[in-house]
A and B are shown apart, each in its own frame.
Chain A
Amino acid sequence: QQQVKQSPQSLIVQKGGISIINCAYENTAFDYFPWYQQFPGKGPALLIAIRPDVSEKKEGRFTISFNKSAKQFSLHIMDSQPGDSATYFCAASMTSNTGKLIFGQGTTLQVKP
């Protein structure tokens, strides 16, 4: 019940295309859902995050869509660029608890020029 399932494991997109990564969770007590971007040899960097009281959040080319009833959330990267090539992790946590992040398995995105 603590798991977050992320798909796809890898994704190849052409420059200018839309990248979509999906995550699903089971524990309805989760109330914070961040996405992290990680480049090889670097630490994860927070990209965008959402709480379940909103269905969508947009920051620049990055959008989170959140479906509370389906217990799913997704990251959309519009106008994907080669510089977006990285590993993306979704995560979930219960802010009322220890705040422990439960990470998805990660998606390796390659944007081809």
Chain B
Amino acid sequence: DAMVIQNPRYQVTQFGKPVTLSCSQTLNHNVMYWYQQKSSQAPKLLFHYYDKDFNNEADTPDNFQSRRPNTSFCFLDIRSPGLGDAAMYLCATGQARGSTQYFGPGTRLTVL
């Protein structure tokens, strides 16, 4: 089945220790999004790629970076995680900008 896959599902890191979260998709969608979702809150868009074109949200901290080496994969790098970065990180894909977004299962990040 075509889908959005996120690895790992659970990630524990130490304060200040860089961490990378992975997203892959078999939908062959052009757009890949990264969201941060904290407990009892709505998902918050961090950035997205339209093909290789990177689009950062104005309020996304510099601590968050992303890479998309090919159509199928996208990575979220947190350079120096703080306690406030503990959250669920969701990857989503869309065929085009403005089309339906399909979410992965998320990665739960814990910062110790």
CB within 8 Å of B: which residues of A? 32, 34, 36, 41-46, 49, 89, 93-101, 103-106
Contacts and interface: CB of A to CB of B under 8 A. Distances in A.
Contacts of B68: none
Contacts of B48: 98, 100
Contacts, number: 60
Nearest to A44: B103
B105 A42 contact: yes
14 contacts: A32-B98, A41-B106, A43-B106, A45-B103, A46-B102, A89-B43, A96-B98, A98-B55, A98-B97, A98-B98, A101-B43, A101-B101, A105-B41, A105-B42
B42 A106 contact: yes
Contacts of B103: 36, 43-45
Given A43-B103, A44-B103, 17 more contacts: A34-B100, A41-B108, A43-B106, A44-B43, A46-B100, A46-B101, A89-B42, A89-B43, A93-B98, A97-B97, A98-B55, A99-B99, A100-B48, A100-B57, A104-B42, A106-B41, A106-B42
B98 A43 contact: no
A100 B4 CA distance: 18
Given A97-B98, A99-B96, A106 B45 contact: no
Contacts of B99: 95, 99
A49 B100 contact: yes
B25 to A, nearest CB: 13
Contacts of A98: 48, 50, 55, 97-98
Contact of B45 (A34, A43, A97, A101): A101
A106 B97 CA distance: 23
A95 B42 contact: no
Nearest to B91: A43
